[in-house]
Structure 1
Amino acid sequence: MENGNGLKIMEKNGLSLNLKLQNGTKVDNGTHWCFRGNKELDTPPEITIRGVLGMLKDSLDPSDPRPTIPLGHGDPSYFPCFRTAEVAEKSIADALHSANFNCYAPTAGLPSARRAVAEHLSADLPYKLIADDVFITVGCTQAIEVALCALARPGANILLPRPGFPIYEARAVYSHLEIRFFDLLPEKGWDVDLNAIEALADENTVAMVIINPGNPCGNVFTYEHLEKVAETARKLGILVISDEVYDHITFGSKPFVPMGVFASIVPVLTLGSISKRWIVPGWRIGWLATNDPNGILKKTRVVDCIKGYLNISVDPTTFNQGALPHILEKTKEDFFQNIINTLEHTSEICYQKLKEIDCITCPHKAEGSMFVMVKLNLGLLEDIKDDMDFCFKLAKEESVIVLPGIVVGLKNWLRISFAIDPCSLEDALGRIKVFCQRHSKQK
């Protein structure tokens, strides 16, 4: 019941407990508590990748004797065919055993790590980055946080791709950046809708985000398309945040081209890490690099804001930073090629097997990263309301976990990861086919 002041009252064991005021604060036996949780962090689990995957895992049938096959996340390290390079493991061990990296690191990162990343990225650029252009972060996730916080100001907005990686949306909301979505076009290989960019932007737009190679679409942008992106951003007076965590993980006809190639046209913040290319997402070491030969980011004090955020933020583990130069410099090309060959093989399995499933359409074969987006035809299915319902019933009935497209911005689509061992992938796609046949409408 409710008293005259809007106070919720509960009767329990003969006691009246004051539970909740209309303004959301709590009281208990007459005490008025002045704190409450930050509503911006009270995120429903069904709108985050980790939240949804956790819920799908909880919905599995424990009596199913078959192994659960995870096609919902981008962590291939679970499978032996995707083990990291020996030189990477040895570099971490050597750095730890040296006892040279037990101290705090500078907030921007160890100079040796920053210098190594600058040299690593410069190999693909028409100019040279220096250590001062690089900031070491706790994986690419922290690089996202740093970039968005550095650009946030009252009334500002940012342009995000749809479909995209939902952490950008979550961090933008938390930084009080208004979000405006532009579409990636499946009929054009998931290219950016550049006309939409121009229509969405105004004087309060600070940046646009691209992810290349693409998560969740598996696309790779061409040199020509990226040049148009740069020219559009320059016309609008905004910078480009280029998420390149899957850099060089390409296996189609398009080579990887870093957005920094066009930094003479528009300033670029490049975000990356060793998580995906070296198959070590749990090591949590990444970077943010300022590609800015014209010095615009310094003149606008964006670089100062990046430093300011890092001064009040957590640092990557120091021995990981100490190992980074050897990891970047000593890993041999055959390691990367083996990973590419495996992903090319599994992406082909995925594409061909999906063709056999009537209710699923793959508009564009993956050419990079570890994912592909596919569309559901709900008109061919019985008792399936939407993509979320599809994924929960699939998990329960077939012990296969796939990410609903709504989580990455496209309702009634699915994001499928093919970064698993080939046998497991074939098994999973076979189970999905059986599931769809079981739920197909009778003709």
Structure 2
Amino acid sequence: MARNFGKIKISDYARLSINPLRKITQEQKIDPNPAKRSITLQLGDPTIFGNFPPPVALISALSNAVVHDKFPYNISYGKFEARQAVAEYSKHQGEISPDDVILSSGCSHALEMTVLTLVQPGENVLIPRPSYNYKTWIDGMKIETKAYNLDPEKSWDIDLVQMESLIDDKTRAIIINNPGNPCGNCFSKEHILEIIALAERRQLPIVADEIYEHFVFPGIEYHSISSLSKNVPVLTCSGLSKRFLVPGIRMGWIIVHDRNGVLDEVKQGLRNVSARILGPNSTVQYALPDILQNTPQRFFVNKMMKISYNADLAYELLSKIPGLKPIKPRGSMYMMIQIELDKFPEFQSCLEFTQQLIREQSVLVFPGHPCFNYPGFMRIVLTVTDGMIKESCRRLKEFCETHAKL
């Protein structure tokens, strides 16, 4: 006699692998105001509105690769020509050999590979607060995250005293995101040297999330962590998605900056882990040397001028709105805005504030919590058109004037 199946349970890995940004966008059942066209300032995807097309050289390189690549299995950590191109492209980080490079399926994958190579279940890794959602893939592996604070009053510099207080005998690495998401921070050379000194004192490697490398506004100087480290081993994670405006292309890399031969086993471990998916897309690997070598500098300059203009425009308009306190970014494509909730007593949280903003004004933003582990704030993206920046700020002003109790 046939028996009915009971509910099939999922693993802890699946249950704990939650991305709050995607969860909100996919599961939040809030209807925008039908009388107002929706403006989304949520996902950091510069391709949505057509105002930031990818470089022509990238399209040409991909077209050529589709014709000429044989679509083989490559070495799992990347074909030599692609790794050689990454080493040359990344020479601002220091002396790099193709053997120091491991290719991945995007920067998120690079970060996941790196942490899972360095850290065992039951051990811990330090992550920033607020931060990009590192916990999505860390929590599922039963690795603990400890959040160190970024200070909005100091352009989001790290509270180094608080950071060091988190370190214990199970801490295995420090993740540093610079330039940063969601804050738009870019650390000074002096601050990076302070971070490196702490890591050396506590004998911890740094995992440098530098997907926004060079992604800084005019007048701001960017320094890679590895270029300033003499003794601390650094594993730098980056990729094509942000600087080249192609988030869906899923091509990233890890660069192993060894110091005194302490990462030999780690490098082999990363190569072992890369075999889990047999390496990233073959055709993009084929195109990678042309993309990195032939994209003109003017493409990057023009992009940053546009985003910097949007940042200045948004900061100027938001600064005039009662109850909001924008924190001026120095790079990447985001701005964090403090919501002075004491002036909006009907809202108990930034989540409630942003949900009602959707209902009334059809402006979609991410709340600081749960998205970035930072209550009382919201994040906007700066890659929309300047017209959308102006209109969304106008609607935010109307919303705040309606609800604020000054």
TM-score scaled to structure 2, two decimals?
A: 0.95
Distance 1:117 1:182 in 2: 31
Q: Deviations over 1:337-381 (max 9, x none)?
A: 11010011000011001112111112x311100011111111212
Paired amino acid for 1:317: N
Greater relative CO, 1 or 2 (CA 8 Å, sep 6+): 2
How far is the alpha carbon of 1:207 from its aligned partner?
0.5
2:322 is the alignment partner of 1:322: no
Give the whole-Å Cα distance in 1 for the aligned partners of 2:120 and 2:14: 19
Match of 1:50 in 2: 22
> Share of identical aligned residues, percent?
30
1:59 aligns with 2:22: no
After TM superposition, which residue ranges in structure 1, 4 or more long, deviate above 4 angstroms?
28-33
Contact in 2 for aligned 1:213/1:250 (Cα 8 Å): yes
2:14 aligned counterpart, secondary structure: coil
Alpha-carbon distance, 1:264 to partner: 2.2
**CA–CA separation in structure 1 for the residues paired with 2:242 and 2:70:** 24
Provide, for residues 163-187 of structure 1, a one-character-per-residue CA deviation record: whole Å limited to 9, x for no partner: 0111x12222122222111101111
Q: How does 1:363-402 map to 2 (within 5 A)?
A: 364-402=327-365
Shift of residue 317, structure 1, vs aligned partner:
1.3
Deviations 1:74-120 (A, max 9, x none): 1111122211111111100110011x241112100111111100111
Q: Is the CA contact (8 Å cut-off) linking 1:359 and 1:376 kept in structure 2?
A: yes
Shift of 1:31: 5.9
Instruction: Name the structure 1 match of 2:149.
Output: 183
For 2:387 and 2:170, locate their aligned partners in 1 and report how far apart those are by CA, in whole Å. 50
Q: Which residue of 1 aligns with 2:78?
A: 109
The question of 1:235 aligning with 2:207 is answered no
- What secondary structure is seen at the aligned counterpart in 2 of 1:313? coil
Alignment of 1:415-426 (within 5 A): 415-426=379-390
Quick check: 1:69–1:428 contact (8 Å CA) kept in 2? Answer: yes
CA contact (8 A) 1:253 1:367 kept: no
8 A Cα contact 1:82 1:279, kept in partner: yes
Cα distance, 1:44 vs structure 2: 8.7
TM-score (norm 1): 0.87
Question: In the aligned structure 1, how far is the partner of 2:35 from the partner of 2:77?
Answer: 49
8 Å contact from structure 1 (residues 221, 254) kept in 2:
no
Q: In the alignment, does 2:189 pair up with 1:219?
A: no
Q: CA deviation at 1:203?
A: 2.1
The residue type equivalent to 2:191 in the other structure is: H
Q: Which has the larger radius of gyration?
A: 1
How far apart are residue 154 of structure 1 and its match?
A: 4.3
Q: Distance in 2 between matches of 1:44 and 1:383?
A: 33
State the Cα deviation string for residues 248-289 of structure 1 (Å, max 9, x = none).
Answer: 111154311011113422000101011111110011111111
Query: In the alignment, which residue of structure 1 is the partner of 2:40?
Result: 70
State the partner residue of 1:87: 57
- 1:80 counterpart SS class: coil
- Which segment drifts farther, 263-272 or 327-336? 263-272
Structure 2 spans left out of the alignment, 5+ residues? none
- Secondary structure, counterpart of 1:52 in structure 2: helix
| Uncovered stretches (5+) of structure 1, i.e. residues with no partner | 1-27
RMSD, matched Cα: 1.8
Q: 1:153 aligns with which of 99, 114, 120?
A: 120
- Contact conserved, 1:274 with 1:280, CA < 8 A, in 2? yes
Residues 1:408 and 2:372 aligned together: yes
Cα gap change, 1:52 to 1:314, in 2 (>3 Å): farther
Q: Is the 8 A contact 1:263 1:291 kept in 2?
A: no
Q: How many residues align?
A: 404
